[in-house]
């Protein structure tokens, strides 16, 4: 099957034409965002490697959605830079930021579809707003993207006539119509049952395999974090407490990370994000009563593309990067990485939908 990299059109048995693009690196340096006197996060520095899938975790209210909006230039941080192929999304001219924004695709938390428009017009909206393509070309692109996300034949339905999972997929199709090099997904599993969440997870992996776009997914879902990404980061107490290979965070012994992964009430995270010192001290002193055990966090194999999809180029590049840092990672992280690599290359265990 002739899968190609670059902005090319290729022929396949499952899609008549598929546009394949190459993701680009996103470099975040010293990013700080405030609303009045409230600091949302400070001095956030990370790199989203080209074509790789990353997940951003964190308790509610830590500014994960604000971070996505800052990456795409919809919000202006007070300090720092976001570099997209030489364009600073924080400090450069509005005209340059606007042009660079076209390289992004955004999958909003609730789909953000226009309720009075059929799915076709919702998905065609960015093409009609930002390009001069003729309607015949727009129709071809929209129908291809709908087929890609499993919505073939549903173009005439209104958002109110379809399920939540279908609305999510329509939102993803709209994010894909401009051939994005970077895709930002804000809680793609929000409001979905476990089965639909599994379908969305597999779909995101398949999309990455097809177009090799750089992807950042914001989620609270530990199953998505454990199975989908190459890299995981976590925001907590206004800081980025971790960012690196999936296995490094899932084996971390940092207290906030441990508590979040286990869904435990014990630890530094409270109802208002962080507990006060007195409550933490009381927890530390509370040795009476039976010991409480945390549920075991298993590190499952990373999802692979559905059979018939191309291999993920981002996964290959990620493996090369991890090889260089492997000696610096913890022993549990190293063991988990080798276990994932040695697992049979079985794709699509969640199915595609």
pLDDT (0 to 100) of residue 5: 34
Residue 110's pLDDT band (cuts 50, 70, 90)? confident
The secondary structure of 199-210, three-state, reads HHHHHHHHHHHH
User: Is the pLDDT score of 144 beyond 90?
Assistant: yes
Nearest to 187 by CA among 112, 97, 273, 272: 112
Identify the pLDDT of residue 298: 73
How much is the pTM?
Answer: 0.85
Helices (H) and strands (E) counted in the chain, each on its own, are: 12, 14
Instruction: Give the whole-angstrom CA distance, residue 189 versus residue 214.
Output: 19
Is the torsion defined by CA of 145, 148, 151, 153 positive or negative?
positive
- CATH of 20-73+194-270+310-341 given 1.10.3720.10, 3.40.30.10, 3.90.190.20, 3.40.50.300: 3.40.50.300
User: What DSSP string runs through 127-186?
Assistant: HHHH----HHHHHHHHHHHHHHTT-TT-TT--GGGS-HHHHHHHHHHHHHTT--SEEEEE
Over residues 13-34, the pLDDT tens digits come to: 333 344 445 789 999 999 999 9
Closest CA to 107 of 208, 6, 236, 26: 208
Residues 164 and 6: their CA atoms lie apart, in Å, by: 33
- Give the whole-angstrom CA distance, residue 273 versus residue 253: 19
Q: Out of 168-182, 214-228, 279-293, pick the least confident.
A: 279-293
CA 222 – CA 197 distance, rounded (Å): 11
């Amino acid at each position: 099957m002739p899968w190609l990299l670059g902005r090319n059109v290729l022929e396949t048995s499952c899609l008549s034409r598929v546009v394949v693009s190459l993701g680009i690196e996103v470099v975040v340096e010293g990013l700080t965002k405030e609303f009045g006197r409230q600091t949302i996060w400070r001095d956030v520095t990370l790199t989203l490697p080209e074509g790789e899938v990353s997940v951003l975790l964190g308790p509610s209210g830590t500014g994960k959605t604000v971070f996505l909006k800052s990456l795409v230039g919809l919000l202006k941080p007070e300090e720092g830079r976001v570099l997209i192929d030489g364009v600073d999304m924080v400090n450069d001219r509005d005209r340059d930021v606007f042009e660079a924004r076209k390289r992004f695709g955004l999958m909003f938390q609730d789909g953000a579809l226009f309720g009075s428009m059929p799915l076709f017009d919702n998905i065609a909206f960015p093409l009609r707003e930002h390009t001069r393509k003729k309607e015949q070309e727009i129709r071809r692109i929209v129908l291809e993207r709908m087929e890609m996300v499993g919505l073939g034949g549903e173009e005439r339905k209104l958002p109110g006539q379809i399920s939540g999972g279908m609305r999510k997929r329509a939102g993803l199709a709209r994010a894909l119509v401009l051939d994005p090099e970077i895709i930002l997904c804000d809680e793609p599993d929000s409001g979905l049952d476990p089965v639909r969440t599994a379908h969305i997870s597999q779909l995101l992996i398949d999309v990455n395999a097809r177009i090799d776009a750089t992807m950042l997914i914001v989620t609270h879902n530990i199953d998505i974090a454990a199975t989908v990404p190459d890299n995981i980061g976590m925001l907590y107490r206004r800081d980025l407490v971790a960012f690196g290979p999936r296995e490094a965070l899932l084996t971390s012994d940092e207290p906030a990370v441990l508590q979040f992964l286990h869904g435990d009430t014990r630890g530094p995270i409270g109802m208002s994000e962080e507990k006060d010192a007195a409550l933490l001290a009381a927890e530390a002193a509370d040795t009476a009563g039976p010991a409480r055990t945390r549920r075991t966090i298993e590190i499952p194999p990373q999802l692979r593309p559905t059979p018939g999809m191309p291999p993920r180029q981002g996964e290959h590049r990620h493996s090369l990067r991890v090889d260089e840092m492997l000696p610096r990672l913890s022993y549990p992280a190293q063991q988990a990485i080798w276990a994932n690599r040695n697992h049979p290359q079985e794709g699509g265990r969640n199915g595609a939908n």
